[in-house]
Structure 1
Amino acid sequence: MRVTLKDIADEAGVSMMTVSNVVNGKRARVSPETIERIQRIVAERGYVPSASARSLAAKSSKLIGLLVPAADEDSLMISPHNVAIVGLIERELRKGGYHLLLRGISQPAEVAEALQSWSLDGAVLLGFLDEEIDRLTARTVGKVSLLAIDSYSANPLTTGVRSDDHTGALLAARHLLALGHREIVFAGPAFSDVGVVHQRYQGFRAAYAEAGLTWIERIVTVETTTHGSGRDLGLRLMQSHPEATAVFATADILAIGIMEGLAEAGCSVPGDVSVLGFDDLDLSRYVTPKLTTIAQDIPQKAAIAVRLLLAAVERREHPADPITLGVRLITRDSTAAPR
């Protein structure tokens, strides 16, 4: 059975309030002998403070929800980049005394249910389209503080942190153009006129304009951000885009799949086709050839996200503008001059 404050108090011969004060570090009015006795009994009985009781006393649940899209009721849509973010956010929240609860969202109505039924102090939105974030209302959100990662939504209900996607793609295109590539496939998921992939698309096009070159719309290919989708593209790339000498993929996992598909199709990377990714995941250093990519500081993104969210939760501070983090080109072995 769970050991309670009353059990400790009865054995120590003191009040429950005295035990509570000792356990919670409020020991100014408690004698050293009593503190030592209570601590010994706590250790012997294996007493663990009740998180729910602490939450009631503090009028805070200490719970932060992490909401991610679910393709259906059975699966979550979490990319390797987002998996890294989840682990780092959990660590940062734990340092601050908060607990993370993961919830998949397959229908828009589930957002309100998740935010309001869990008694959350705050929530992180990860992997949602900006159009979905735009539709959140005060009635949906209630009093829960929200932070959206990698979002360009202008919804005033959310705080935001993201990487400089436009500059990242600009650096990628500049690198490939400087090597001498001109027919470069842009591979990424479908996008609208706002959002992460749109920013990367615009940045990529900007490098062509900067170099006085014409962008060829036909070499944009829409792919889901998965290894399997990348492999399929690599297998058919030389048939669908025989003129291509390079590929820019909007995510490392997609780029790695493309390299595998190209190898299976008998093409050399970078001998026949150069491949460049975005994220700088650990995987990019383990594949052969090692992947040239755009690095974003994922640990910093997670740390800032938690700092912003807890400021909103604890002090009701709400930054007027999202924070955009810098990116950099990491040159490895998957890019070279075209033959």
Structure 2
Amino acid sequence: MRVTLKDIADEAGVSMMTVSNVVNGKRARVSPETIERIQRIVAERGYVPSASARSLAARSSRMIGLLVPAADEDSLMISPHNVAILGQIERELRKSGYHLLLRGIAEPSEVAEALKSWSLDGAVLLGFLDEDLDRLTAGAVGNVSLLAIDSYSTNPLTTGVRSDDYTGALLAARHLLDLGHREIIFAAPPFSSVGVVHQRYDGFRAAFAETGLMWTERLATVETTTHATGRELGHRLLTEHPEATAVFATADILAIGIMEGLSDSGYDVPSDVSVLGFDNLDLSEYVTPKLTTIAQDIPQKAAIAVRRLLAAIEQREHPTEAVTLDVHLIERASTSHPRGARTADTGADWISPKPS
């Protein structure tokens, strides 16, 4: 049978209120001897406080929703990057005594429904289009605090935290250009005029502009961000773009799929094609060759997101500016000079024709 607060109080010879105060850390008016006796009985009896009772007393559910887009009614858009974010957010919330509820959202209108039906104290929005976040209104979300991760939405209801996507792509393109690549594929999911991928697209092109080089749209390829899609792209990459010597993929999982597809087709990475990703997920070090990538600080992103969200919930602090975190290039074995290229100080042409 479940041990109750009353059971502990009866055995300790004190009131239920005294036991509740000790269990919940309110011990200023309780003697050290009584605290020690209650703690001993709690440990011996295996008493676990009721989360629902605590929530009722505090008028708080202590539940935070992690809302992610659902591609359809049966699946969630949980990429390896989002899984890493999810794990870090749960860890940070657990430290503060909150619980995480994962909920898929098939239609933007379901956000308000999820917030109200689960009595959430707050919610993190991950992976939504900025256009969808822009449409959220105070009337729809009520008093629930919201925070968006990896968003460029101007909606003050969702001000959150993101990585410096523009600079990350700029660093990626600079690295490939410095190695001597000119015909570089930009592989990314569909994107609009705002958002994470658009920032990376702009940063990528800026690297060419600052060196006076031209990059053509024919080298852009739109792909879903999955390993399977990347592998398919790798299979056909040099058939569709025989001039290409490098690929910048806007996600590690896509880049890793591309490397596998190229290998399946008899090409070597990086001798035939250099591949560079974005995220620095753990698996980028587990593949062969190890993946050169743009590293973002996922633990810090999660910690800042939780800290900001809990400040909004508990102190009603609502920041007006998003936090943008630095990124940096990690050079590993998946990038090198293009075959036949010379070093920059020779002043000679960097690119040689791709061998047949």
TM-score with structure 1 setting the length: 0.97
Cα displacement (A) at 1:181: 0.8
Q: Give the aligned partner of residue 27 of structure 1.
A: 27
Measured in 2, the distance between the counterparts of 1:10 and 1:307 equals: 39
Cα displacement (A) at 1:48: 0.8
Measured in 2, the distance between the counterparts of 1:49 and 1:153 equals: 40
Of residues 217-226 and 137-146 in structure 1, the stretch that sits farther from structure 2 once superposed is 137-146
Q: Give the aligned partner of residue 272 of structure 1.
A: 272
Q: Give the aligned partner of residue 158 of structure 1.
A: 158
Segments of structure 2 that go 5 or more residues without pairing to the other structure are: 340-356
Cα displacement (A) at 1:167: 0.5
Cα displacement (A) at 1:272: 0.6
Measured in 1, the distance between the counterparts of 2:264 and 2:229 equals: 14
Cα displacement (A) at 1:11: 2.8
Q: In structure 1, what residue type is equivalent to 2:42?
A: V
Q: Give the aligned partner of residue 54 of structure 2.
A: 54
Cα displacement (A) at 1:42: 1.8
Residue 287 in 1 paired to residue 287 in 2? Answer: yes
Q: Give the aligned partner of residue 227 of structure 2.
A: 227
Superposition CA RMSD, Å: 1.2
Q: Kindly tell me the number of residue pairs found equivalent between the two proteins.
A: 339
Q: Give the aligned partner of residue 167 of structure 1.
A: 167
Cα displacement (A) at 1:108: 2.1
Q: Structure 1, residues 64-122: CA drift from partner, whole Å, max 9, x if none?
A: 11001111222111111111111011111111111111111112222111111111111
Change (3 A) 1:181 1:154: same
Residue 8 in 1 paired to residue 1 in 2? Answer: no
Q: Give the aligned partner of residue 79 of structure 1.
A: 79
Change (3 A) 1:203 1:31: closer
Alignment of 1:173-322 (within 5 A): 173-322=173-322
Q: Give the aligned partner of residue 36 of structure 1.
A: 36
Q: State the secondary structure of the residue aligned to 2:293.
A: strand
Of residues 43-52 and 219-228 in structure 1, the stretch that sits farther from structure 2 once superposed is 43-52
Segments of structure 1 that go 5 or more residues without pairing to the other structure are: none
Q: In structure 2, what residue type is equivalent to 1:325?
A: L
Q: Give the aligned partner of residue 95 of structure 1.
A: 95
Q: In structure 2, what residue type is equivalent to 1:302?
A: A
Cα displacement (A) at 1:147: 0.6
Cα displacement (A) at 1:34: 3.4
Residue 337 in 1 paired to residue 337 in 2? Answer: yes
Q: Give the aligned partner of residue 119 of structure 1.
A: 119
Measured in 1, the distance between the counterparts of 2:113 and 2:27 equals: 41
Measured in 1, the distance between the counterparts of 2:175 and 2:65 equals: 39
Measured in 2, the distance between the counterparts of 1:247 and 1:262 equals: 11
Measured in 2, the distance between the counterparts of 1:33 and 1:215 equals: 76
Q: In structure 2, what residue type is equivalent to 1:165?
A: D
Measured in 2, the distance between the counterparts of 1:225 and 1:313 equals: 33
Q: Structure 1, residues 23-42: CA drift from partner, whole Å, max 9, x if none?
A: 22333433444333333322
Measured in 1, the distance between the counterparts of 2:160 and 2:191 equals: 20
Q: In structure 2, what residue type is equivalent to 1:172?
A: A
Q: In structure 1, what residue type is equivalent to 2:104?
A: G
Q: In structure 1, what residue type is equivalent to 2:135?
A: R
Q: In structure 2, what residue type is equivalent to 1:332?
A: R
Does the 8 Å contact 1:159/1:308 carry over to 2?
no
Measured in 2, the distance between the counterparts of 1:157 and 1:31 equals: 46
Does the 8 Å contact 1:235/1:264 carry over to 2?
yes
Of residues 133-142 and 263-272 in structure 1, the stretch that sits farther from structure 2 once superposed is 133-142
Q: In structure 2, what residue type is equivalent to 1:200?
A: R
Measured in 1, the distance between the counterparts of 2:32 and 2:199 equals: 62
Measured in 1, the distance between the counterparts of 2:192 and 2:145 equals: 27
Q: Structure 1, residues 212-269: CA drift from partner, whole Å, max 9, x if none?
A: 0112011100000000000000000011111111000000000000000000011111
Q: Give the aligned partner of residue 107 of structure 1.
A: 107
Cα displacement (A) at 1:335: 0.8
Q: In structure 2, what residue type is equivalent to 1:254?
A: L
Measured in 2, the distance between the counterparts of 1:266 and 1:32 equals: 73
Q: State the secondary structure of the residue aligned to 2:89.
A: helix
Cα displacement (A) at 1:138: 1.1
Measured in 2, the distance between the counterparts of 1:314 and 1:186 equals: 43
Q: State the secondary structure of the residue aligned to 2:155.
A: coil
Measured in 1, the distance between the counterparts of 2:160 and 2:34 equals: 49
Change (3 A) 1:2 1:338: same
Of residues 29-38 and 159-168 in structure 1, the stretch that sits farther from structure 2 once superposed is 29-38
